[in-house]
Amino acid sequence: MLLVLSAEHRAHLGCLPRAGAAAVGELGRLALEQLRRGAAPRACETAARKLNIGVDTIQHGVEGLVYLLTESSKLMISEVDFQDSIHVLGFSDELNKSLLQLYLDNRKEIRSVLGELAPRLPSYHSLEWRLDVQLASRSLRQQIKPAVTMKLHLNQNEDQTAQVLQTDPATLLHLIQQLEQALGEMKMNHCRRIVRNMK
């Protein structure tokens, strides 16, 4: 699976040849620090003075590397696919080897950092439901008005919460059909490949 780079990301990575293969290590270190702790303008200014390159060039290079490393790590791109992905940039062999080594050395750490940044979503615990039917009211002597009431129990950060939902059977049936369709699509080869790469 190849990583497709947009024109903006290609432009950001385009500053790497000006910085040189030796500077890739420094820019890679800054990219990893940005992933761990967020943007650090002072570190970019220090690196710019040290490497005798403009601050904007350093910042664009770091942003390009952050994108390249995070997207490649998310997809767990193989060594060959990574090389093919950056080959289109037209860098020298030495620079390509430096980028590949940077990726191989740090992809596990990057995946763990991205895992920590992912939101913790609630998970299903149990469901209680009840069917209510209104047969008549003061204004209408004969009517049938069904309603399904559900109490959804969720686990979130070791705490249990409950959500009460109410709907009519037609809407519930439509929701069930949509969920069954989504589950059917998950069995397709394309979706399986995506899920396998997300793990």
Task: Count other Cβ atoms within 10 Å, centred on residue 44.
Answer: 21
**φ, ψ (nearest 5 deg) of residue 159:** -110, 150
Question: 196 pLDDT band (50/70/90 cuts)?
Answer: low
Does 113 have pLDDT greater than 70?
Answer: yes
The structural domains of the chain, with segments of one domain joined by +, span 7-117, 123-197
| Local structure of residue 75 (DSSP, 8 states) | H
The Cα-based distances of 128 to 116, 149, 150, 176 in angstroms read: 32, 8, 6, 16
Residues 6+ apart with CB under 8 A from 157: 120
- Which of helix, strand or coil describes residue 158? coil
Asked whether residue 138 carries a pLDDT value surpassing 90, the answer given is no
Give the mean model confidence (pLDDT) for residues 164-168: 94
Bridge partners of 156, per DSSP, are 159
Rounded distance between C-alpha atoms, residue 1 and residue 106, angstroms: 19
Residue whose C-alpha is closest to residue 53's, from 31, 91, 32, 24: 24
With bands split at pLDDT 50, 70 and 90, how would you rate the model's confidence at 1? low
Q: Is pTM beyond 0.75 here?
A: no
Kindly state the percentage of the chain with pLDDT values over 70.
91
Q: How confident is the model at residue 152 (pLDDT cuts 50, 70, 90)?
A: very high
Can you state the percent helix, strand and coil of the chain, rounding each to 5?
60, 15, 20
The pLDDT value recorded for residue 195 is 65
Instruction: Give the pLDDT of residue 14.
Output: 78
CA atoms within 13 A on the CB side of 85: 25
Q: Are 24 and 92 in contact (CB under 8 A)?
A: no
How many C-beta atoms surround the C-beta of residue 30 within 10 A? 22
pLDDT digits (tens, 9 = 90+) for 86-110: 887 888 888 888 888 888 888 888 8
Task: Report, as an integer, the average pLDDT of 145-151.
Answer: 92
What is the mean pLDDT of the segment spanning 75-88?
Answer: 84
Query: Would you state the pLDDT for residue 165?
Result: 93
- Stretch 150-163: mean pLDDT: 89
pLDDT band at 21 (very low <50, low <70, confident <90, very high): low
Residue ranges in 14-146 assigned as alpha helix (H):
16-19, 21-37, 41-51, 55-75, 79-87, 93-117
Query: What is the Rg, in whole angstroms, of the alpha carbon atoms belonging to the chain?
Result: 26
